[in-house]
C-alpha cells in the first residue's frame, strides 16, 4: 500500500514538473510558418500617403496620427474609453494597385488590444484582399504579430500574392490595435498606382459597441460592418468603441456633419442601463438628423434574446421618426440578427460574435442596407 502511495506521489511530482511553455506548432506543421521578408529585395512606400488611398478616418488630415474621432475632443465631450479606443484602427483600409509579384508590410504599433477570447489575427492582424476575375474582392492572407513579438514592430511578407499583372489590393487594418506607421513593400521597379474608385463614394458610418468595433472576429475583414461595406463596395467609418459608446451628443453632432451614404446606429450594448438608453438614444438620432436631414439611418437593438425593454426604447425612436414624416429610417430587431444558429453557435461568450455570428448579422442587415442606399437614388 505504501509502495502504491509512493508511486502515486512520484507520478504527481512528475506531472507537476511538466513544462507549460508554449509549443511552436510551426516547427511541426509548415502550414503555420510565417512568411518572412528574408533576402527579398523590397522598396517600401509610406502607405498613409498617395498613391495609396487610406479610408476609415473621417477627421484625420494627412500627416496626422490614425485616430477615429475629432482630435480636439476631450473628456469634457466624450468619455475616456472612447478617447483611448479611438487609436484603434477598426474599419481602416489601405487601397492601391501594383504589378509587384510579391508584397510585404512593415508596421509600427502604438497599442495592442490583446484579449483572451479574440484571436490576435483579428485584434492586431492585417488582412490582404485582391479583386478576382469576377470583379469581387478575394481574400488572400492575414498577417499578425507572433506571440513572442512584443516589440510593437511587424515586418512580414504577405502569402498568396498572385502577381504577374497590375492588380488592385486592399489591406484591412487591425480591429483592436493602434497603428503608428504603415509601409507596403514591393519588388524594386514595380509600379504602384492609386486604386480604382469605389462604386459608392461616400462612406457608411457605424456607431456602436465592441461588436461594432469587431470583437471577436478572427480577422479584420470578418467584422459585420466590413462585410457590408465590401458587399456594396463602399468606404467605412467605424465608430465602434468597446464598452464606451454611451451616446454622447458631441459625437452625434460631429457624425451628423459627415457626408455619408448611410448611418448605422448600434450602441445598445454600451448604454449602462435602460434608463440611460432612453435618455440618450432619441436625442442622439435627432442630433444626427438635424445636421443631416437626408441621410438614411438604420437603428439596431442588441443581439440578445432577453432585452425587450431596451429594444422597445430603440423602436420608439424609430416609431417617433416615422410618425414625424421621416421616410429614411429603418429598425432591425437585434433578436433576429443571429437567425436560427442563435447565441449557441454565434458568440464566443454569449455576447460577442464569432465569425459565424458576424456573418449572420451581415446577412440580416444587408437587405436593409441595400434598401437604404436605394432611397438615395
Q: Does pLDDT of 101 surpass 60?
A: yes
Q: Where are the alpha helices (DSSP H) in the chain?
A: 2-17, 80-85, 120-123, 210-213, 224-232, 249-256, 274-291, 308-323, 342-346, 355-374
Mean pLDDT over 360-366 rounds to: 97
Residue 4 has pLDDT above 50, yes or no: no
**Is 347 found in the same domain as 217?**
yes
Separation CA 232–CA 202 (nearest Å): 11
What cell does 86 get? 479611438
| Structural domains of the chain, count | 2
- pLDDT at residue 302 above 90? yes
pLDDT tops 80 at residue 273: yes
Residues 127 and 225 in one domain: no
The C-alpha cell at 324 is 414625424
The answer as to whether 341 is a domain residue is: yes
pLDDT at 20: 54
Supply the pLDDT for residue 38.
Answer: 77
Q: Which of 161, 193, 225 is the last residue of a domain?
A: 193
Q: Are residues 220 and 178 in the same domain?
A: no
Q: Which of 137, 197, 201, 136 is nearest to 376 (CA)?
A: 201
Going by C-alpha positions, the residue among 61, 114, 116, 119 that lies closest to residue 88 is: 114
Among 160, 193, 226, give the residue marking a domain's end.
193
Residue 6 has pLDDT above 50, yes or no: no
Whether residue 276 is found in the same domain as residue 175: no
Indicate whether 215 and 329 sit together in one domain: yes
Domain hosting 112: range is 43-56+91-193
Q: Is residue 156 part of a domain?
A: yes
Cβ-Cβ contacts under 8 Å for 165 (sequence gap 6 or more): 99
pLDDT digits (tens, 9 = 90+) for 204-249: 999 999 999 999 999 999 999 999 999 999 999 999 999 999 999 9
Whole-model pTM?
0.90
**Residue 14 maps to a domain:** no
Mean residue pLDDT across the chain: 90
Sorting pLDDT into bands at 50, 70 and 90, what band is 125? very high
- DSSP code of residue 173: P
Q: In this structure, is residue 303 part of a structural domain? A: yes
Lowest mean pLDDT, pick from 29-38, 40-49, 162-171, 268-277:
29-38
340 in the same domain as 223: yes
Residue 70 inside a domain? The answer is no
> Any idea what the CATH number is for the domain that residue 185 is in?
2.60.120.260
- Has residue 81 been placed in a domain? no
Query: Do 251 and 362 share a structural domain?
Result: yes
Average pLDDT for 39-60: 96
Amino acid at each position: 500500500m505504501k509502495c502504491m502511495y509512493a508511486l502515486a506521489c512520484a507520478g504527481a511530482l512528475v506531472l507537476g514538473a511538466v513544462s507549460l511553455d508554449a509549443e511552436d506548432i510551426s516547427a511541426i506543421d509548415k502550414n503555420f510558418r510565417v512568411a518572412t521578408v528574408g533576402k527579398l529585395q523590397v522598396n517600401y512606400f509610406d502607405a498613409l500617403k498617395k498613391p495609396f488611398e487610406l479610408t476609415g478616418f473621417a477627421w484625420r488630415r494627412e500627416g496626422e496620427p490614425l485616430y477615429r474621432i475629432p482630435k480636439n475632443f476631450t473628456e469634457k465631450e466624450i468619455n475616456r474609453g472612447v478617447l483611448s479606443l479611438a487609436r484603434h484602427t477598426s474599419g481602416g483600409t489601405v487601397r492601391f494597385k501594383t504589378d509587384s509579384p510579391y508584397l510585404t508590410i512593415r508596421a509600427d504599433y502604438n497599442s495592442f488590444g490583446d484579449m483572451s477570447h479574440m484571436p490576435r489575427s483579428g485584434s492586431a492582424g492585417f488582412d490582404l484582399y485582391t479583386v478576382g476575375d469576377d470583379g469581387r474582392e478575394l481574400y488572400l492572407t492575414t498577417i499578425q504579430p507572433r506571440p513572442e513579438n512584443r516589440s510593437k514592430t511587424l515586418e512580414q511578407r504577405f502569402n498568396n500574392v498572385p502577381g504577374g499583372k497590375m492588380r488592385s489590393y486592399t489591406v484591412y487594418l487591425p480591429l483592436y490595435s493602434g497603428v503608428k506607421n504603415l509601409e507596403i513593400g514591393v519588388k524594386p521597379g514595380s509600379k504602384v498606382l492609386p486604386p480604382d474608385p469605389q462604386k459608392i463614394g461616400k462612406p457608411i458610418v457605424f456607431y456602436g459597441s465592441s461588436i461594432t468595433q469587431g470583437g471577436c472576429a478572427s480577422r479584420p475583414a470578418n467584422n459585420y460592418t466590413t462585410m457590408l461595406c465590401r458587399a456594396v463596395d463602399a468606404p467605412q467609418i467605424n465608430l465602434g468603441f468597446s464598452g464606451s459608446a454611451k451616446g454622447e451628443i458631441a459625437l452625434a453632432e460631429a457624425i451628423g456633419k459627415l457626408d455619408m451614404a448611410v448611418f448605422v446606429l448600434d450602441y445598445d450594448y454600451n448604454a449602462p442601463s435602460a434608463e440611460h438608453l432612453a435618455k440618450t438614444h432619441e436625442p442622439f438620432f435627432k442630433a444626427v438628423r438635424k445636421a443631416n436631414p437626408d441621410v438614411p439611418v438604420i437603428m439596431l437593438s442588441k443581439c440578445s434574446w432577453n432585452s425587450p425593454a431596451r429594444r422597445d426604447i430603440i423602436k420608439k425612436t424609430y416609431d417617433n421618426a416615422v410618425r414625424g414624416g421621416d421616410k429614411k429610417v429603418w429598425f432591425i430587431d437585434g433578436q433576429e440578427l443571429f437567425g436560427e444558429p442563435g447565441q449557441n453557435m454565434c458568440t464566443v461568450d454569449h455576447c460577442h460574435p464569432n465569425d459565424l455570428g458576424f456573418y449572420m448579422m451581415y446577412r440580416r442587415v444587408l437587405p436593409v442596407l441595400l434598401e437604404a442606399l436605394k432611397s438615395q437614388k
